Chains A and B, each alone.
Chain A
Amino acid sequence: MNKENVLGFLKKNTMIIVLIIVVAFFSWRTGGAILLPMNVSNLISQNAYVFILATGMLLCILTGGNIDLSVGSVVCFVGAIGALLMVNVGAPVWLTIIVMILIGTAIGAFQGFWIAFVRIPPFIVTLAGMLAFRGLSNVVLNGLTVSIKDQTTFVNLFGGGADCYIHDFIGNGSLNLTCLFGGILAASALVLLQILSRIKKKQNGYELESVFAFGGKIVILAGVIIAFAYKLAQHKGIPTVLIWVLVVVIIYGYITSNTTVGRYFYAVGGNEKATKLSGIDTNRVYFLAYTNMGFLAALAGMVTIARLTSAQPTYGQNYEMDAIGSCFIGGASAYGGIGTVPGVIVGAVLMGVINLGMSLMGVDANMQKVVKGVVLLAAVIFDVVSKRGGKMIVKN
């Protein structure tokens, strides 16, 4: 490997390398506590909402660096409606889920309408949404907490409460074999898919990375998945919420990289006028991005009230910032058109690890915010500067 290849590799995988360094740093400072099975498991459950929201936020950001500030409030509002439906009205779980999804999507579509068709700046529309739905959450909840502790079906389904893990169907010992085998299965599937795709690429005459680099990449990937599954197996198994996160990540990862609709998000962010003149309905793309954000906010709302087994008017505060931060740390461009779902997930994990690591170290909560702010700024500076070829200051 020559110097250019190394630099290219570093640039392409910056955040993964940073993630490894950060994990190494915290396992040193916490005496390995951050890698304890329980903490790995908590990392997932605590940050599930970030993964879900960041995926949706990526679509908005792709369209041109547009963000959705309202998601935190929408999570809270949809959660409040769901809790009230179950507790006060006694609605069945399936109905509650449908209503929550409908309301979230409708809110997204409402905001999307103004953004896409009337072309009101997204910042303004979603700022308004952020204020309005925070207020409405308070109104519907009367400023009180509604407990959903007794709604066990709902809570278990969305990964909350005490029984928030997938049952072990195979083993009965301390090691959750279902989880372990699931991990091995996932790793094998991934390796298989990668090899198939490489074979097909070769047939089509692509320029390929060396066999060595390719082999190294899939071995490491598979290794990480299995190690991760093993950690979870040592605790209580697969957190139920992980299934939801995986479903979202896989579906949206596929949409963004393999479908025509996904391609349109990148095209609009890259050059809206050219996209329009290519016969693509750009209004629809904006509308879809924000409608979808509402839909995913509803899902995040379910996960949130399940985990906290209640709904409160303060839930979801700053969730939008976590999602936006993950996107930018994960390599999405603030100008749109660039960013991937896997990148965003790495960004979200990095944020999660920093949160967890600092909590374990006993760093004061306020200082944690300071650190997160610095990390966000540093990540984007690094991204921008490295794309500019290492030049720090833009010449006048």
Chain B
Amino acid sequence: MEKILLEMKNITKTFPGVKALDNVNLKVVNGEIHALVGENGAGKSTLMNVLSGVYPYGSYEGDIVYDGEVCKFGAIKDSEEKGIVIIHQELALIPYMTIAENMFLGNERGKKFKIDWNETNKQARRYLDIVGLRESTQTLIKDIGVGKQQLVEIAKALSKRARLLILDEPTSSLNETDSRALLDLLLRLKEERGLTSIIISHKLNEVSYVADKITVIRDGATIETLTKGKDDFSESRIIKGMVGREISDRFPKRESHIGEISMEVKNWNVYHPLYKDRKVVDNVNINVRKGEVLGISGLMGAGRTELAMSIFGKSYGENITGQIFINGKEVKLDTVKSAIRHGLAYVTEDRKGNGLILSNPIKINTTVANLEAVSKRTVIDKHKEYSVAVEYKEKLKTKAPSVEQHVGNLSGGNQQKVLLAKWMFTNPDILILDEPTRGIDVGAKYEIYCIINQLVAEGKSVILISSELPEVLGMSDRIYVMNEGKIVGELDAGEATQEKIMAKILQTAG
């Protein structure tokens, strides 16, 4: 008989005006990996926050039974004492502290007024070995990549004697190799140490790879729990549970009408802004045609974002050399402004950090990159601005009560639409979309794909940078594969497969 480690019974959590969770039930067996899937806003994170004590006992209804006893957590500290450790999507590590210092922050080894550094480093080493991270405990967090930082978080959790590990979107900012390594680590910890994990993820292929059970949450309620070996674990089966309908086609069809070359980049080289001798983009030659969706595939850190931003008015990098031709004519794009003027738009991958002004309404975010279009001799025509914002809100089906709504209050998918609206309003001919569907739910993804199709139907060029291979394959007419700053392959939509792309990357990786 398998032992139930955690049971959440009839959890109901209400925020002013909304019922975020409605009678949710979750049963996790000791030693399993349990995936929690659902669209954004379905209530996954809320449920985990109830479990970890972020929302204390009393602020929700229902029972948490952990290890056979009913728990009433008043704070995160209480749940951690029981061995429930949550690792959030945004990592909580301090860049200018060492790995060891970070691991024992708030949990220091030694006495109250004297930290035992030997013990700290020894313990840190021990847990780093368990997760297989070969870095000195003295390395600063800022000097290691996100993938390794994720491992530090797990080591930190283990050092707190975690029995139940909760990972919220652990691979959202990792590349394929790092993601796979992380998932394999979870499997290994399960085998070797009997560690139980709950993993929240949007990446369904990973979920079916790693999970023993999958619980689907939709609109604040549990829909079903699938068990490996018993139920169908395919992506389409999971999606069906999440959206409540079959998505026969994850990518909308389009008829391609590809025209002449709209932009060509030749012999493009970019160096790192801080480490001046590190070449981030290495002799890249690419072109994109009118009416074409050009995919750029590659692992995280392959230099795709750097390539895009350096083209977009040299907003990244140093010592940039090379030529850009737009409609056959050479142009100098030294500032973002000149790039916009030549019909370029760059929709950033980091919509909160680099894209939107969260404290401002939809209206202001929509027009900020092209204020001239709604103003006369520097005086803004607020009525025009308002109607422009409303127009784009309707066109892109942005869900918000009004265009006066602050962007910070919108869901990820709707924020992404506002960001797209901002750049569509600059009336570009060439749009570079950098991870346009990262962290947004399946329904919103489909709508974004439709917008992309609409853009190319108007004869615009779209450069689609994405780490999700199915997305690149499903949307692009042509695909460049990038690795370590170089273009390592070019494939037509007809011939491209996930295997071929990975093979191109792996051939050059070394």
Query: Which residue numbers of A lie inside 8 Å of B, CB to CB?
Result: 200-201, 203-207, 258-261, 263, 266-267, 270-271, 273-281, 337-338, 396
Chain B residues with Cβ below 8 Å from A276 are 315, 336
- Determine if B335 is an interface residue (Cβ-Cβ < 8 Å): yes
Tell me whether A274 and B339 are in contact in the complex, defined as CB-CB below 8 angstroms, given that A259-B380, A263-B380 are known contacts: no
* Identity of the chain B residue whose Cβ is nearest the Cβ of A333 in the assembled complex: B359
* Identity of the chain B residue whose Cβ is nearest the Cβ of A335 in the assembled complex: B359
Contact between A273 and B353, CB atoms less than 8 A apart? yes
- Determine if B276 is an interface residue (Cβ-Cβ < 8 Å): no
| 23 A–B contacts from the bound complex (CB under 8 Å) | A201-B383, A206-B386, A258-B382, A259-B375, A260-B371, A263-B380, A266-B364, A267-B360, A270-B358, A274-B355, A274-B368, A275-B357, A275-B368, A276-B315, A276-B336, A277-B336, A277-B355, A279-B337, A279-B340, A280-B337, A281-B335, A337-B357, A337-B359
A271 contact from B335, B358, B382, B390, Cβ within 8 A: B358
- How long is the Cα–Cα vector from A258 to B348 in the complex, in angstroms? 28
* Identity of the chain A residue whose Cβ is nearest the Cβ of B75 in the assembled complex: A396
Tell me whether A263 and B358 are in contact in the complex, defined as CB-CB below 8 angstroms, given that A200-B383, A204-B383, A278-B422 are known contacts: no
Chain A residues with Cβ below 8 Å from B356 are 271, 274
Q: Which 6 A-B pairs have the closest CB atoms?
A: A270-B357, A278-B369, A279-B337, A279-B336, A271-B357, A260-B371
- How long is the Cα–Cα vector from A279 to B368 in the complex, in angstroms? 9
Contact between B315 and A277, CB atoms less than 8 A apart? yes
Smallest CB separation, A194 vs chain B (Å): 14
Smallest CB separation, B5 vs chain A (Å): 27
Contact between B359 and A338, CB atoms less than 8 A apart? yes
Per-residue A-contact encoding for B337-380, CB less than 8 Å = 1, 0 else: 10110000010100001111111100010001101100100111
Smallest CB separation, A198 vs chain B (Å): 12
- Determine if B402 is an interface residue (Cβ-Cβ < 8 Å): yes
Chain A residues with Cβ below 8 Å from B355 are 274, 277
- Determine if B313 is an interface residue (Cβ-Cβ < 8 Å): yes
- Determine if B508 is an interface residue (Cβ-Cβ < 8 Å): no
- How long is the Cα–Cα vector from A107 to B487 in the complex, in angstroms? 51
- How long is the Cα–Cα vector from A374 to B9 in the complex, in angstroms? 49
Contact between B346 and A277, CB atoms less than 8 A apart? yes
Q: A277-B336, A277-B346, A279-B335 are in contact. List 19 more A-B contacts (CB 8 A).
A: A201-B383, A260-B375, A263-B364, A266-B357, A267-B360, A271-B354, A271-B356, A273-B353, A274-B348, A274-B353, A274-B368, A277-B315, A277-B348, A277-B355, A279-B340, A337-B357, A337-B359, A338-B359, A396-B75
- How long is the Cα–Cα vector from A280 to B369 in the complex, in angstroms? 8
Contact between B359 and A270, CB atoms less than 8 A apart? yes
Smallest CB separation, B232 vs chain A (Å): 42
Tell me whether A278 and B336 are in contact in the complex, defined as CB-CB below 8 angstroms, given that A258-B379, A263-B371, A263-B380 are known contacts: yes
Contact between A260 and B386, CB atoms less than 8 A apart? no
- How long is the Cα–Cα vector from A261 to B377 in the complex, in angstroms? 11
Tell me whether A266 and B360 are in contact in the complex, defined as CB-CB below 8 angstroms, given that A201-B383, A275-B368, A279-B337 are known contacts: yes
